[in-house]
């Protein structure tokens, strides 16, 4: 069941999961769902979006003289991302009847950590790698920032392939289990 960001009522435990559409974040979301079921917890699925720093310089050239055009296009894109978060990325939680709240947050890792403090998160769940620029060898830079600066415990979830190899199961067989 989806909750709106302003709702006061919440479960005893609150699991905050960083979601970006990558395989790593999908696995983190599935783990959050499994934990939420056992703990009777709420899952807060957060996707962060950052405005490009170069927008103010290039917007007049690319979109014409109005920054309003840029703001409107930015908001349309954020709304599409919110729709993807709710309709696609959080679908396993919805289908499993897990109590969840989808959040699109403007900013980066530090803003996500501020939000964690604000909502009283109990655990932060991240995938080992996300959709970062260089796809670092072992752990993405966004995940590293969250781990090193989080005010709450962080669970880092390996990719589905890791779990499948360990258990002798194909990743696709594991994908549907929340």
Which pLDDT score, from 0 to 100, does residue 171 have? 45
Q: How many CA atoms lie within 13 A of 63 on its CB side?
A: 14
Cα 150 to chain centroid, rounded: 15
Of residues 51, 35, 31, 175, the one with CA closest to residue 104: 51
- CA 29, CA 176: separation in Å to the nearest integer? 11
**What is the domain partition of the chain in residue ranges?**
14-173
Each of the 178 residues of the chain gets a pLDDT tens digit; together they read: 555 544 455 448 999 999 988 888 999 999 999 999 999 999 999 999 988 766 555 555 555 556 667 778 888 989 999 999 999 999 999 999 999 999 999 999 999 999 999 999 999 999 886 545 444 444 457 888 888 999 999 999 987 665 555 655 544 444 456 6
Which pTM was predicted?
Answer: 0.77
Which pLDDT score, from 0 to 100, does residue 53 have? 67
Helices (H) and strands (E) in the chain, counts: 8, 5
Strand boundaries in the chain, DSSP class E = 14-18, 42-49, 100-106, 123-127, 154-157
CB of 120 within 8 A of CB of 22?
no
Which pLDDT score, from 0 to 100, does residue 142 have? 81
CATH class of 14-173: alpha beta
Which pLDDT score, from 0 to 100, does residue 64 have? 56
Which pLDDT score, from 0 to 100, does residue 41 have? 95
């Amino acid at each position: 069941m989806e909750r709106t960001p302003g709702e006061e009522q919440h479960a005893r435990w609150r699991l905050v999961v960083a979601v970006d559409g990558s395989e790593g974040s999908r696995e983190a979301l599935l783990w959050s769902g499994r934990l939420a079921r056992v703990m009777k917890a709420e899952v807060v699925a957060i996707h962060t979006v950052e405005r490009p720093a170069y927008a103010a310089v290039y917007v007049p050239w690319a979109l014409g003289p109005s920054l309003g055009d840029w703001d409107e296009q930015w908001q349309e894109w954020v709304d599409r991302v919110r729709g993807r978060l709710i309709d696609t990325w959080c679908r396993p939680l919805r289908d499993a009847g897990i109590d969840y709240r989808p959040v699109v947050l403007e900013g980066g890792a530090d803003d996500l950590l501020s939000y964690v403090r604000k909502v009283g998160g109990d655990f932060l769940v991240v995938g080992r790698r996300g959709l970062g620029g260089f796809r670092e060898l072992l752990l993405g830079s966004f995940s590293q920032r969250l781990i090193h600066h989080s005010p709450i415990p962080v669970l880092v979830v390996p990719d589905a392939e890791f779990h499948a190899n360990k258990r002798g199961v194909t990743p696709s067989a594991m994908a549907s289990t929340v």
